[in-house]
Structure 1
Amino acid sequence: MRPHVVAQLAVSLDGVTSGFDVDLARFYALASLWQEDVTLIDAGTILAQENAVLAAPRRGPRAEGPLLAVVDERARVRSWDSLRELGYWSGVLALYADQTPERPPDATTRELITGYDQIDLVEVLDVLGDRGVQTVRVDTSGVLLRSCLALGLIDELALLVHPLLIGGDRWYDTGHLDLRHAGTEVFKDGVIWMRYCVTSAR
């Protein structure tokens, strides 16, 4: 059975995901309420933080933490050991396609290979479900999340809406989604946490 897939992102009032400060402690405290079994993220997000990951203390895998699964079609991520040891996740899983470049011969990171030249996200979720995964949280506001939405793979969406107008491209046209309101919380600084069930794509 395919797992329940959730996504949370911070946006401005006009639907932009960058150009403003986000309270990361609050963001991840709210995200932790889903208690995901797997955190799904793309290689670009990892690479953007790679220097910080490599410099961070290595606290060791967190046995009760989720598995970190990284969509890495071009095998660009090299910091697997550091990611595994950060203390957030129980382990790491590299998601590759058949045509992903060969990895170093001494690579020890677990792999899941789906699709030919692109990773098959539907199959990824099916395999994870077969392995007992119940909840997956998509931890990005970029291409990976938009791909999951376009494929109808997101079951629950949470927006941490900040009281700012930034200008620029909106993260996604939610008019293409069939959303059912599931809850709203307003914080003292004017940030609103809005949760929706995604029932289907229109």
Structure 2
Amino acid sequence: MRPHVVAQVAVSLDGRTAGFDADLARYYAMATLWQEDVTLVGADTILAQEGLLRAAPGGDSRASGPLLAVVDSRARVRSWEVLRGLGHWSDVLALYADQTPARPPDATTRELVTGYEQVDLEEVLRLLGRRGAEVVRVESGGALIGVLLELGLVDELALLVHPVIVGAGEPWCGATVRFRHAGTEVFSGGIVWSRYCLD
């Protein structure tokens, strides 16, 4: 049985995930609600923050923290040790496909290889469930969440909507999925937190 999958995303009024200053403190405070076993992230999200990651103070992994699983079909992420040492996660797991380019022979990051050209996300979730994961929180700029929605693998959607129109870029999702409203909260500055569950 696969874990409960929560997709969390900070968006603008016109459905963009970039081009505005997201309230990251609020975003990460809300993320603690789920106490996830696994944080699932796409390589693009990691690469977009690589400069900030490298500048972050080093530390140790957090034994009680969730596992960080990164979907990286093209083996572009190189900052595994930095991610491991941020103190947020218990460990990191690289999610690769059969056709993912070869990794350095001395790589020490745990790997899960599934799928041929792209990571098989359905199998990843099933395997994580077998390993004891009950809740997976997806943190993404939108592409990974969009794929998971298209595959019917999202159980809950949490949007932190910012009162700004970006007017450029692609919307974070193009899939059509019906959800049931589960709650809304309005914060100072007009930021709206809305949660939805799969029908």
User: Shared fold by TM > 0.5?
Assistant: yes
Amino acid corresponding to residue 53 of structure 1 in structure 2: L
Deviation at 1:59, TM superposition (A): 1.3
Q: CA 1:182/1:68 → structure 2, altered by over 3 Å: closer, same or farther?
A: same
Instruction: Indicate how the Cα distance of structure 1 residues 170 and 47 shifts in structure 2: closer, same or farther if over 3 A, else same.
Output: closer
Q: Which runs of 4+ in 1 moved over 4 A?
A: none
Q: Which moved more, 1:8-17 or 1:100-109?
A: 8-17
Separation (CA, whole Å) in 2 of partners of 1:167 and 1:47 = 24
- 1:69 alignment partner AA: A
What aligned pairs does 1:182-193 form with structure 2 within 5 A after superposition?
Answer: 182-193=182-193
Distance 1:190 1:44 in 2: 28
RMSD: 1.2
Partner of 1:148: 148
- Per the TM alignment, residue 55 of structure 1 is displaced from its structure 2 partner at its CA by 2.4
Shift of 1:166: 2.4
The yes-or-no answer on 1:28 pairing with 2:28 is yes
Where 1:172 maps in the other structure, the secondary structure is: coil
CA contact (8 A) 2:143 2:173 kept: no
Q: Which amino acid aligns with 1:109?
A: T
User: Which deviations, in whole Å up to 9, do the C-alpha atoms of 1:19-76 show, x marking residues without a partner?
Assistant: 2211111110001111111000111111122222222211100111110000011111
SS of corresponding position for 1:68: strand
Q: Which residue of 2 aligns with 1:160?
A: 160
Contact 2:95/2:113 (8 A) holds in 1: yes
Cα offset, 1:190, TM superposition: 1.1
- Structure 2 gap segments, 5+ residues each: none
2:29 counterpart SS class: helix
In 2, Cα distance between equivalents of 1:17 and 1:76: 21
Aligned residues: 198
Q: How far apart are 1:14 and its partner, in Å?
A: 2.1
Q: Could you tell me how far 1:164 is from its partner in structure 2?
A: 2.0
Q: CA deviation at 1:173?
A: 4.0
User: Equivalent residue for 2:172?
Assistant: 171
- Equivalent position amino acid for 2:135 in 1: T
